[in-house]
Amino acid sequence: MILVVDVGNTNITFGVFDGEELKSSFRMMSKTDHTSDEYGIQMLEMMGHNGIDKEQIEGVMIASVVPQVMHALVNAIVKYIGRKPYIVGPGIKTGIKITTDNPREIGPDLIVDAVAAYEIYGGPVLVVDYGTATTYVPINEKGEFFAGVVSPGIRISAKALWEGTAKLPEIEIKKPDSILARETISSMQAGLIYGQIGQSKYIIEEMKRESGLKDMKVVATGGLGRLISELTEEIDIYDPILTLRGLQILYEKNRRNKPQNKEFDDQNQPE
């Protein structure tokens, strides 16, 4: 089995794969400061609760957009699980080619999503990830990651509403019964949900038009991806574990060249 770790701006999501099958997944908040011991103990507790013993873990792959948690998290994995993880970044074999103007600026999360979508669904494919930010990444039939769009996610937009205004309350993010809202809470919900739907429709259509890839499959993922995909004809597939699957694919691509063992591979790791 392997452990994959997706460190996002809001949550750290863990997945345990047995081959290509996701056996379990669990998460913790990523904005809370932890020591390596706290991370390690929590990981072991959550793994145990899901019936996973640390001795079953043969290797670990991490993608992170939150650099400040990495030192403690990597040390926790080494100390408590006994494996030194691969980290998505320079030197990792991906199977796709990044052809944007500044490839090193591309976030690890976008790379992982792109790898998963291309490997699983083929190209051309457009990945829309509804996370803390909403991201749109197209990959052509040659496996080239050639462009991208990043916009505020629904939760960021919602937080801006209730923190940036004097009278608007904090609300549950869900689709209201009608876009013709008749009171404050449902009017905010309508603006957030239907605003995201409208943005998604327009960006998807324009990316297809400008790229000339009008037959591009559209794959959505992320926490609110299910809700938006159900209301958006432009989205073909909703895959809630796309990022975790991408990490599993990347691990398999890289372990063939660098065997994992208890002696810990020191290549491709930060100090």
**DSSP for residue 134:** E
**DSSP for residue 218:** E
- Tell me what pLDDT residue 91 has: 86
CB burial of residue 86 (10 Å; 0-12, 13-18, 19+): buried
Q: Are residues 180 and 194 in contact, defined by beta-carbon separation less than 8 angstroms?
A: no
Nearest to 196 by CA among 165, 167, 234: 234
* pTM of the full structure: 0.89
Q: Are residues 123 and 139 in contact, defined by beta-carbon separation less than 8 angstroms?
A: yes
H-type alpha helices, the chain: 36-49, 70-76, 108-121, 154-164, 184-211, 225-230, 242-255
Q: What domains are there in the chain, each with its CATH number? A: 2-87+247-255 (3.30.420.40), 97-240 (3.30.420.40)
Catalytic residue numbers read: 109
Q: pLDDT tens for the chain, 271 residues: list them.
A: 999 999 998 899 999 999 999 999 999 988 778 899 999 999 999 999 999 999 999 999 999 999 999 999 999 999 999 999 999 998 899 999 999 999 989 999 999 999 999 999 999 999 999 998 999 999 999 999 999 999 999 999 999 999 999 889 999 999 999 999 999 999 999 999 999 999 999 999 999 999 999 999 999 999 889 999 999 999 999 999 999 999 999 999 998 655 443 333 444 443 3
